[in-house]
Amino acid sequence: MKKILFMMMILVSTVFADQTALNSILKNISIPNVDKTIKNANVLKENLNEQNFKKFLSSWKKVEALYFAGEIDNDYLDTPRYIDVFHNLKEDLKEQMQRVIASKDEPNIALFKNSFKTINALEYVLFNDDKITKREKLLSLAILDSIVSHLNDIKGVYTQYLSSKPKSETWENAMIINSLIASTYRLKEWRIGDPSGNSSKYKDNADNKRAEYFLSKSSFLAIKSILDAHEEIMGESKYLNFGKMAVQSGAKAEVAEVENAIHNSLNELKKLKNDDFSNAKDLYEDVKSLHNAYYLSLIEQLAITAKILDADGD
Amino acid sequence: MNDFFALEYLINPNKRIFWVYILSSILITIIYFYFNSRSKKVVLSSKLWLHPSAKLDYYYFFISYFVKVFMLIPIVVSAKTIAFFVNKHLYLQFDYYENTFFSYEVVIVMYTLSLFLISDFSRYWLHRFLHKIPFLWEFHKVHHSAKVLTPITFYRVHPIENLLYGIRYSLSIGFVTGIFIYFFGAMIDIYSVLGVNIIVFVFSILGANLRHSHVQVSFGEKIEKWFISPKQHQIHHSRRHFNKNYGGTLAIWDRLFGSLSLSKEVKILKFGLRKNQMNDYLSVFDLLIKPFKLLILNKILKKRKLK
C-alpha cells in the first residue's frame, strides 16, 4: 500500500538469471559492433573508396545509436563527439576542412581540432570532389587513426564493465531505455525532421543539404543502420536483449509496439530514394511513433512502487 | 494482503512501528531516563499501557487495517498514474527534453530531497486543514481523542483522514515523479536504507515513535526551529495547543506559517479532547461512526438555528 518510491521494474528474468540485459547487450551487440567498425575503418584505410566508406559509416552508426560508454564511465561522455559532430558543431566544418586540405602542414598538425578528426571531416575530405589527392589520402588516414583510437577506448570501457562488478540492474535498465529514447529523438528531429522540414525548427522548410551525410549521399544508409541497431536491441534474438528482457517483465504489448514502429520505419525508408528527404513525412511519423513507443509506453512499464513510511496521519 | 497483521508492521521498514525504529526509540528513552528519571514512573506504568484509551488504540489498529485495505486503497488513484499523466502532458506540451547536464548521482540526490520536501510540505498543509476546516476537524478529532499516547496512537486515524492522506500522497509524489521522469527519463532513483527514503529512515531512527508517547524528548531550541522533536508533537496533542506544530519532520513550515511552538514554551501537557467530548470516542464503533453522526447533528442544529 502506501509505498512510495520509484524503482525500475524491469527485473531479472528467471531464464537469464545469471546475467543482466546490459551485460548480454555489451557482449552480443555493442562489442561486436565496435569490432566491426574498427575492422571496416582498417579496410577503408587500405582502400579509400566510396563503398568502404559506406561500410565503415554504417557500422559506426550502430555503435553511436547504442552508445553506453559515457554513462558507464563519465570520462567517455564526449567520445562520440570526437568521432561524429553532426548537429553538435556551430562552425562551418566544410570551410575549415578546405583550409586543412589547402595547408601544407603535416596531417597531425593540420588536424589540430577534434572536429577535424571526425567522420564528418573525413566525408568532406573524401567527397568534396571526384578525386582523392595524395594530401587528402594522408589526411584521411590520420583521421581514421584517430577514430580507431576512440573506438578502442569505447571497446575498453565495455570490456572493463563486463569484467568488473556491475552497477545495479535498475540503473543499467534505466540507462538503456534513456539511450534508446534519446537516440530515436535525434533520429526523428535531427536526421529526418531537419532535412525534410518536419522538425519544429525547420517546419515546412525542407532542404536536403541539412541531411547528416549530404556529400556522400549516405544519410538514408545512416538512418537504416540506426534502425537496425534498435532492431538488434529490441527484436528477436538468441541472446538476452532489452526487448526480450522487457517481454519477460510483462511489457509484451509495449515491445510489440516498438518492433512494429521499427519495421514500419524500415519499410518506409525503403520507399525513399537518392537521399531525397522531400517525401520523408511518413518516415518522420513512423520514427515519431517509435520514439513515443519508448517514451510513452515502455517507460511506463517501470515499476513504480510507492514506498513511504506510514503516512496515515500525525 | 502481505502488509497485514501486527507482525508485518513490525518487520516492514516502511511502517512507523518497524522493530528497528521501536528499538531505537527504546534506546533513546533509556538515555532520556538517565537524565530525567521523573517521567520514568509514568512511562513504565501499566496504567499507561493498559489505559482504556491505549486499549482502544490497540483494537482500532486491527480493525482500521481492514477498512484501509478493502475500502480505501482500491479507490485512491496511484502515484504512478499521476506521475505518468504529468510526464505525458509535459512531453506533449513541451516535446522531449534530454538531460545532458546532471549526472545520475545528482539526479538521485535531487529526487530524494524533492520527494521528502514535497511530501513533508503537503503533510503540513493537510494536517493544518484537518484542524482548521470544521468538516475535516470532525474526522481528525478521532486522532486527538487519545487520552494517553502510545506509538500505536499513530494509527488512531479515521478512514476519511486516511483517504485524504492517500490522495495527498498520490498527488504530491506523483507530481514530483512526473516532473523528474520528464527531465531525467528512467534515470530516477532515491537514496534509501532498507527501501525507505534515507531522510525518512534517519528521522524514524531518531525516535519518531516517541512523538506518540509520554517521553518528552526535546531537540533543543536551535534544532527545534528546523526539525520537529517528539516533545513538539506532544505539544500538538496537548488540548491547549492543537493549533501548534502541524509539521511532520521539518519545523520550517510551522515557522514560516506561524504555528511553531518550542518545547521550552509548554510545561504541562494534557492530552485528549475536552471532557464533554471524550465520551464520544470510547469504542471502535465510536471512532468510525461518530464523526458522521456529529456532522449530521451539527447540520440539523444549524438548520434549526437558521429557522
- Per-residue pLDDT of B228-263, as tens digits, reads 999 999 999 999 999 999 999 999 999 999 999 999
| B269/A42 Cα distance (integer angstroms) | 83
- Alpha carbon of B141: minimum distance to chain A alpha carbons (Å): 12
**CA of B151: which chain A residue's CA is closest?**
A314
Mean pLDDT, rounded, of chain B: 90
Residue B86, CA distances (Å) to A22, A23, B89, B170 in order: 29, 33, 5, 12
pLDDT in tens, chain A (314 residues): 333 333 334 433 444 455 899 999 999 999 999 999 999 999 999 999 999 999 999 999 999 999 999 999 989 999 999 999 999 888 899 999 999 999 999 999 999 999 999 999 999 999 999 899 999 999 999 999 999 999 999 999 999 999 998 788 888 988 999 999 999 999 999 999 999 999 988 999 999 999 999 999 999 999 999 999 999 999 999 999 999 999 988 889 999 999 999 999 999 999 999 999 999 999 999 999 999 999 888 777 654 444 444 555 66
Interface contact flag, A311 B119, Cβ < 8 Å: yes
Please give the average per-residue pLDDT across B153-177, as a whole number: 91
String of b and e for A260-277 (b: at least 16 CB within 10 Å)?
ebbebbbebbeebeebbb
Within 13 A of B135's CA, how many CA atoms are on the CB side?
Answer: 3
Type of residue at B144: H
pLDDT beyond 90 at B118: yes
CA-based nearest distance A108→chain B, Å? 31
Q: Identify which has the larger pLDDT, B62 or A289.
A: A289
Closest chain A CA to residue B187? A174
Q: Please, is B212 exposed, middle or buried when counting C-beta atoms within 10 Å of its C-beta (0-12, 13-18, 19+)? A: buried
Report the residue from A4, A175, A182 with minimal CB separation from B98: A182
Does the beta-carbon distance from A309 to B98 stay under 8 Å? no
- Cβ burial, residue B277 (10 Å; 0-12/13-18/19+): middle
Q: Between A and B, how many residue pairs show a Cβ–Cβ distance under 8 A?
A: 130
CB neighbours of A244 closer than 8 A, spacing ≥ 6? Answer: A13, A21, A237
Please report how the helices A119-127 and A134-163 are oriented relative to each other, as an axis angle in degrees rounded to 10: 160
Q: Is B143 on the interface with A (CB under 8 A)?
A: yes
| Interface of chain A toward chain B, CB-CB under 8 angstroms | 1-8, 71, 74, 170-171, 173-175, 177-178, 181-182, 185, 200, 291, 295-296, 299-300, 302, 304, 306-314
Q: Which residues on A lie below 8 Å from B91 (Cβ)?
A: 295-296
Q: Which residues of B235-263 are buried (b: 16+ CB within 10 A; e: fewer)?
A: bbbbeebbebbbbbbbbbbbeeeebbbbb
Angle between helices B284-306 and B134-144 (to 10 degrees): 150
CB–CB of B95 and A309 under 8 A? no
Q: Is the confidence metric ipTM above 0.90 for this complex?
A: no
For residue range B2-33, list pLDDT tens digits in order: 445 667 888 888 888 999 999 999 999 999 99
Do the Cβ atoms of B195 and A307 come within 8 Å? yes
For chain B, the C-alpha Rg in angstroms (whole number) is 21
Min CA distance, B44 vs chain A (Å)? 24
Distance from CA of B307 to the nearest CA of A (A): 38
pLDDT for position B194: 86
- Which of B185, B186, B200 is the closest to A308 by Cβ? B200
Is residue A6 within 8 Å of residue B174, measured between CB atoms? no
Predicted TM-score (pTM) of this structure: 0.84
Chain B residues in contact with A302 by the CB 8 A cut-off are: 186
Contact with chain A for residue B172, Cβ under 8 A? no
C-alpha cell read off for A183: 537516440
CB-CB under 8 Å, A185 with B98: yes
Instruction: Name the residue type at position B159.
Output: P
Residue A165: count of CB within 10 angstroms of its CB: 5
Which amino acid is it at B184?
F
Contacting B residues, span 174-233, partner chain A, CB-CB under 8 Å: 177, 181, 184-190, 192, 195-197, 200-201, 204, 211, 233
